[in-house]
Structure 1
């Protein structure tokens, strides 16, 4: 049958999403305002979101569509220019004109889409939209404010609505949407898309993460609630999230170096002490799969960006090597080595108390770091992603130096 088709007919089939989509990738029937697609990595959420936006754009010249991601860069890289983004899925005669300098897409029929960053929720005040695609909402900074501003502007056209695509995390915005009446939900697992994923990838993921909390969340698309006995809760972190901080007294970069030279993750977290006496996480610069020179350069770069007056590095795994590697890339780096005499969870307990007391804050969102914090268990143990809470440990070292150690509150000389 296909052999007898013309090239035009074949192109029509290629771009007919209804022929290729799985059940969880098709918009629900009926009249709804919010469609929450919460599924595992590689399920095909981006393709489904892009195809839904393409369908909305085909409604006519008056279509005005919001494209919202955690950052404008992610919106461009994933939603628009990605392998399954809006430019890649469009037939030639429907391909929109992408104007990156102003963050807009213009379709041949007059429909338009506008890029927004959830990191700047005020940009969603004022504009009106007939539809919206909100991507990876579980990792949005200022998610509640950005979502509310988006919904308040969804007032154009006969039937305004939004699709939200995300990997599940027990973030406040996810819990809120699940509880709201009228929100339509679909989901799925990574394995559901096995026809489009390398078998070796499926096998490796099953072997590494099958049956684990991380695997259930990231692969099976389950919403995993708080770990029992966790030192940090999502609600506490959300309550300590701010958009900016005031004057800075000093900055410390905490480093949890990898155990060897095999390319494990290196935790690198910058924490600032404000003039108000509170601690503020300002950057998670952690890197993975880097040789010693690579993670050392990342530490030096983070210290320079943040204007740090001290780098605190754990020395339990090759202290002399850690210091020599750091000084090899930046001879004047103000490094101080520390030795851990207690386990990671025990060291973290007094730092978690700073959050409970309202003395520690996050300037923006740090999803990977926050996942690790919520996996540290009181009394010992770790139930978060990865083999070790390297990012969380780096935060603990920096916070301890600023808020708990003998130098707490000391005014140092910041690097310029």
Structure 2
């Protein structure tokens, strides 16, 4: 048949016939992509996960963790229905650090659902953002970053499968697990799948220790489907560093020798919510020379509690609380806007910023952004380790606390060793707690 003959036949199809042909061609395209996929050993799911249990993929960078979970979800949708009363037989959810991460990584990304099944459609309605299949099956997308995210999960509905994407990076992983578990009740075997580069958070350690969690692990060096240039780049970036085992080998590392903070120490100080505050400070540790879009700015909100509470040594004192981490790669203008917004949102007493290392631009930028902000500067007269050690000691005394969870800040705290360049989130937190707790005014009162 010539091209001309084919065009004539296509032109003669009715609308219904054309729709049917398109549907068949899409199905063939999907099947071709599906059959072409070659999994790594760690991407092969276990035979069966117990009800409310989990398949947990731990892997280094580029090991296809997202790819494996996306493949699993598509296979689940095209398998036996979990409940015939549910459209398409399946009602699922995808939880990521933010809802935007769920869209970018789990759905639209090169390893997401659309890469495995081109029939997937993303829709946002008044009820939220959903992924839908032609059969009617759906997966609702959630974040785990803000208290509002947790509230959405609380009323997230019943599901047969929950995918946790980059679980260790979720700020509110604990509440996400708690509330999503309450909705795992569709079908005979509702369960989790999870994909993450491991970080030694308490929640991740607890998951690995559970009998109903099946763990598979992948190493970047073994990711032969990853382009050689990218694999070499990742190995060069992390090989020989303290994070090599975590970021390349997908191993759960605990404490790093010489670090001033430990994961277990932070977990010991963690609180679910902060109590009433007597003072709140927003601290900024700027990128050098005004920074740019590629430079990270440290912005930490911390407070001093109203109540006097005994510390580990038996002294009653006001405790410090890390309340929020707004740090990130941003322009100086965005940094000032975020700091000013945090100042008003938290009803803070002060914005304080380091002016060493080119940070003298901050005062002018803050006055131009919001002249109502009460602003002060600090100048480093001592080395970073000398400034950080007293703050680390406050944590050791159980007098400083992390309110909820801040994975990126906590990773910096637990991997920084004095002598290395200290990262911006850590520096901003040190400035905030120093201003609140290590000023000349005493916060102690002896316990009777």
Q: TM-score w.r.t. structure 1 length?
A: 0.81
Displacement of 1:305 in angstroms is 4.2
- Deviation sequence 1:136-165 (CA, Å, 0-9, x none): 221233433432443454343233322111
Distance (whole Å) between structure 2 residues aligned to residue 150 and residue 329 of structure 1: 40
- Deviation sequence 1:119-147 (CA, Å, 0-9, x none): 55563479443222112221233433432
Query: Which residue of structure 2 lines up, in the alignment, with residue 22 of structure 1?
Result: 40
Query: Which residue of structure 2 lines up, in the alignment, with residue 107 of structure 1?
Result: 133
How many residue pairs match? The answer is 394
**Aligned Cα root-mean-square deviation (Å):** 3.3
Displacement of 1:347 in angstroms is 1.8
Displacement of 1:203 in angstroms is 4.0
* Structure 2 CA distance for partners of 1:230 and 1:63, relative to 1, 3 Å: same
* Structure 2 CA distance for partners of 1:90 and 1:249, relative to 1, 3 Å: same
Distance (whole Å) between structure 1 residues aligned to residue 30 and residue 284 of structure 2: 54
Query: Which residue of structure 1 lines up, in the alignment, with residue 12 of structure 2?
Result: none
1:265 and 2:287 correspond: no
Instruction: Map 1:33-112 to 2 at 5 A.
Output: 33-58=53-78, 59-60=80-81, 61-92=88-119, 95-96=120-121, 98-103=123-128, 104-112=130-138
Task: Indicate conservation of the 8 Å contact 1:125/1:150, yes or no.
Answer: no
Distance (whole Å) between structure 1 residues aligned to residue 259 and residue 162 of structure 2: 35
* Structure 2 CA distance for partners of 1:197 and 1:272, relative to 1, 3 Å: farther
Displacement of 1:36 in angstroms is 0.9
Q: Runs of 5+ in structure 1 lacking a partner?
A: 1-5, 410-416
Distance (whole Å) between structure 1 residues aligned to residue 157 and residue 26 of structure 2: 38
Secondary structure at the aligned position of 2:89 is classed as coil
Bigger Rg, which one: 2
* Structure 2 CA distance for partners of 1:91 and 1:204, relative to 1, 3 Å: closer
Instruction: Map 1:7-406 to 2 at 5 A.
Output: 11-16=29-34, 19-30=37-48, 32=50, 33-58=53-78, 59-60=80-81, 61-92=88-119, 95-96=120-121, 98-103=123-128, 104-118=130-144, 120-121=149-150, 123-124=153-154, 127-193=157-223, 195-197=225-227, 199=229, 201-260=230-289, 263=292, 264-276=295-307, 277-288=318-329, 290=330, 292=332, 295-318=335-358, 320-327=360-367, 329-331=369-371, 333-377=373-417, 380-382=418-420, 387-406=421-440
* Structure 2 CA distance for partners of 1:298 and 1:118, relative to 1, 3 Å: closer
Q: TM-score w.r.t. structure 2 length?
A: 0.75
Displacement of 1:10 in angstroms is 6.0
Displacement of 1:373 in angstroms is 1.3
Secondary structure at the aligned position of 1:345 is classed as helix
Q: Runs of 5+ in structure 2 lacking a partner?
A: 1-23, 82-87, 308-317, 444-448
Task: Indicate conservation of the 8 Å contact 1:242/1:361, yes or no.
Answer: yes
Distance (whole Å) between structure 2 residues aligned to residue 96 and residue 268 of structure 1: 37
Displacement of 1:22 in angstroms is 2.5
Displacement of 1:245 in angstroms is 3.4
Distance (whole Å) between structure 1 residues aligned to residue 125 and residue 195 of structure 2: 22
